[in-house]
């Protein structure tokens, strides 16, 4: 077809189509979008009957946000850290050319909450640690310079202060009453996003042995906690602070940890009053009670803390605590494990009489102990020299070759045969065996006599000195 003939017909068709569309527009003017009749328009909401409990829950979260957000603060810090120069730093001429160690300025973000109307703020120690300058932004966008009042790395709690008055302080709740499944609300500054609110539940309580801090009793929650939330509050539906958001599991989703507020109260109270924290000190070294040790000691359950050494002159020695005791209670609280006992002692108070329950020789005993200050702990304990002489000999029933220790206190292990009962239990060359089944083994003669009196197939509890530490091992004589 000739294109010169086709063009006019196409233009005519287009004109007719435009007229037709124009006519349709004039007759049916449809709205560009629909608006709900809840806003005064004509369209019905897709869901008319929302359950009242859902509406109530939604309202509760909104109320918490409105009431508590003003007490949450954003914290930004600037610190100076040493810059790593892997290729030049080892060169002795590096500082001659560049004038000393090179540093860089690091900026970080965190959260906190107002503890008082006059400017005391609780946050994490790691948020403000080594900071050269600290700035705090309130919910009204006012900025303040802050200074550190005190910090406690063992619990990762710090208190900072701004100069201001009539501030909206947070209300503290009771973390001991938390139950798994209750609502948990986090407000903070994740990734610099001001006053972000996330909601979840209490996933667990009493989490310890996480390797995060020295004293651990974490609340676990699936409320989203991200970098920048550190130091912010974990709240219940009443808007009360029940925890201080502290850590996350980087490889997991919905696994965050908060310090219980009841654990934090005595810490930040001492930080405000004197800038540091003093804790109770018992004067023992302890280890976990395994199933094997529990069976060996006659315990029904593998709970408590096994005393593997008593510090001379310490509160425990004065109270009558002995090596080999299993501490099962303190002031009426059942001791779950060594970390739990450590926390209970730290919180028990200095110079106050406390009741300690120990399991000894098949029965429970109550002792009275007056805890001292942990500040008075000896910096170095006297080392026990171990026999390190080489000697050939035949392994005994435990698979050990032993000699008298040089200091005459125990027998030194000079060889632990692979596959032997002792080696499988964890005893190794260089250890000093102090007792077996609570019977002293100061010499090889005493050691041999105890071994010979033991029956094959029976459980044995062996106390070993390893360096400065005393450790109990449980094994079965083959």
Q: Is the pTM of this model over 0.85?
A: no
pLDDT over threshold 80, residue 452: no
d(CA 381, CA 204): 38
* Active-site pick, 230, 296, 339, 435: 230
Tens of pLDDT, residues 377-400:
654 333 333 333 333 345 678 888
Least-confidence region, from 3-12, 154-163, 202-211, 385-394: 385-394
Tens of pLDDT, residues 134-193:
999 999 999 999 999 999 988 999 999 999 999 999 999 999 999 999 999 999 998 888
d(CA 83, CA 229): 27
* Residue 466 pLDDT class (50, 70, 90 cuts): confident
What tokens does 307 get? 């005393």
Averaged confidence pLDDT in the chain: 82
pLDDT over threshold 90, residue 235: yes
* Alpha-carbon torsion (115, 121, 122, 123), positive or negative: positive
Count Cβ neighbours within 10 Å for each residue of 191-210 and write b for 16 or more, e otherwise.
Answer: eeeebbbbbbebbebebbee
pLDDT of residue 393: 44
* Active-site pick, 125, 126, 152, 415: 126
d(CA 103, CA 100): 9
Report helix, strand or coil for 153.
coil
What tokens does 222 get? 């699936």
Percentage of the chain exceeding pLDDT 70: 82
* Active-site pick, 71, 76, 111, 156: 156
pLDDT of residue 380: 37
Question: With DSSP H G I counted as helix, E B as strand and the rest as coil, what are the percentages for the chain, rounded to 5?
Answer: 25, 35, 40
d(CA 127, CA 118): 21
pLDDT over threshold 50, residue 206: yes
What tokens does 9 get? 């017909």
pLDDT over threshold 60, residue 27: no
CA 458-411-471 angle, to 5 degrees, is: 65
Tens of pLDDT, residues 335-346:
998 888 988 888
Known catalytic residue: 415? Answer: no
Known catalytic residue: 454? Answer: no
* Residue 91 pLDDT class (50, 70, 90 cuts): low
d(CA 293, CA 152): 35
d(CA 125, CA 230): 9
Closest-CA residue to 258 (of 344, 341, 200, 193): 200
Residue spans of alpha helices (H) in 174-326: 261-274, 291-297, 315-319
d(CA 104, CA 352): 48
Instruction: Please give the helix or strand (H or E) that residue 465 lies within, else none.
Output: strand 459-466
* Residue 408 pLDDT class (50, 70, 90 cuts): low
Cα 127 off chain centre by:
15
Contact between residue 67 and residue 241 where contact means Cβ atoms under 8 Å apart = no
Tokens 């779950």 belong to residue: 336
Residue bearing the bigger pLDDT, 383 or 212 = 212
Domains parsed from the chain with CATH numbers: 175-274 (2.40.10.10), 280-376 (2.30.42.10), 400-476 (2.30.42.10)
Contact between residue 195 and residue 265 where contact means Cβ atoms under 8 Å apart = no
Report helix, strand or coil for 444.
helix
Known catalytic residue: 156? Answer: yes
d(CA 461, CA 115): 51
Tens of pLDDT, residues 63-78:
999 999 999 999 999 9
Contact between residue 137 and residue 188 where contact means Cβ atoms under 8 Å apart = no
pLDDT over threshold 80, residue 265: yes
Contact between residue 226 and residue 218 where contact means Cβ atoms under 8 Å apart = no
Contact between residue 160 and residue 128 where contact means Cβ atoms under 8 Å apart = yes
């Amino acid at each position: 077809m000739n294109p010169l003939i086709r063009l006019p017909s196409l233009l005519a068709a287009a004109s007719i189509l435009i007229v037709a569309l124009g006519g349709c527009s004039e007759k049916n003017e449809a709205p560009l979008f629909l608006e709900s009749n809840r806003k005064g328009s004509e369209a019905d909401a897709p869901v008319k009957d929302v359950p009242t409990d859902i509406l109530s829950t939604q309202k509760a979260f909104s109320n918490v946000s409105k009431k508590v957000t003003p007490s949450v603060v954003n914290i930004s810090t600037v610190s100076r850290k040493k810059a790593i120069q892997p290729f030049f730093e080892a060169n002795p001429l590096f500082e001659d050319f560049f004038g000393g160690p090179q540093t860089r300025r690091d900026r970080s973000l965190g959260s906190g909450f107002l503890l008082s109307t006059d400017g005391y703020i609780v946050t994490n120690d790691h948020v403000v640690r080594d900071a050269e300058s600290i700035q705090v932004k309130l919910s009204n966008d006012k900025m303040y310079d802050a200074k550190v009042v005190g910090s406690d790395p063992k619990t990762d709690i710090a208190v900072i202060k701004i100069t201001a008055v009539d501030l909206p302080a947070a209300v503290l709740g009771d973390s001991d009453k938390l139950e798994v499944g209750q609502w948990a609300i986090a407000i903070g500054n994740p990734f610099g996003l001001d006053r972000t609110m996330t909601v979840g539940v209490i996933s667990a309580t009493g989490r310890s042995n996480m390797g995060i801090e020295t004293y651990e009793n974490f609340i676990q929650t699936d409320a989203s906690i991200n970098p920048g939330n550190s130091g912010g509050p974990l709240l219940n539906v009443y808007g009360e602070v029940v925890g201080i958001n502290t850590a996350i599991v980087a490889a997991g989703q919905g696994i965050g940890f908060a310090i219980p507020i009841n654990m934090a109260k005595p810490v930040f109270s001492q930080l405000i009053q004197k800038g540091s924290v003093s804790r109770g000190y018992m004067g023992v070294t302890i280890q976990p009670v395994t199933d094997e040790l529990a069976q060996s000691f006659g315990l029904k359950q593998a709970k408590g803390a096994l005393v593997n050494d008593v510090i001379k002159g310490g509160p425990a020695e004065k109270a009558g605590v002995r090596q080999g005791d299993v501490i099962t209670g303190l002031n009426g609280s059942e001791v779950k494990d060594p970390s739990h006992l450590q926390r209970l002692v730290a919180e028990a108070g200095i110079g106050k009489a406390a009741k300690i329950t120990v399991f000894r020789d098949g029965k429970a005993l109550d002792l009275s102990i007056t805890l001292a200050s942990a500040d008075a702990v000896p910096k170095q304990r006297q080392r026990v020299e171990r026999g390190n002489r080489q000697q050939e000999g035949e392994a005994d029933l435990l698979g050990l070759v032993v000699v008298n220790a040089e200091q005459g206190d125990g027998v030194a292990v000079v060889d632990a045969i692979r596959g032997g009962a002792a080696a499988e239990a964890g005893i190794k060359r260089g250890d000093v065996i102090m007792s077996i089944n609570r019977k002293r083994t100061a010499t090889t003669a005493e050691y041999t006599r105890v071994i010979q009196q033991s029956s094959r197939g029976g459980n044995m509890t062996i106390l070993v000195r390893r360096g400065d530490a005393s450790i109990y091992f449980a094994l079965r004589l083959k």
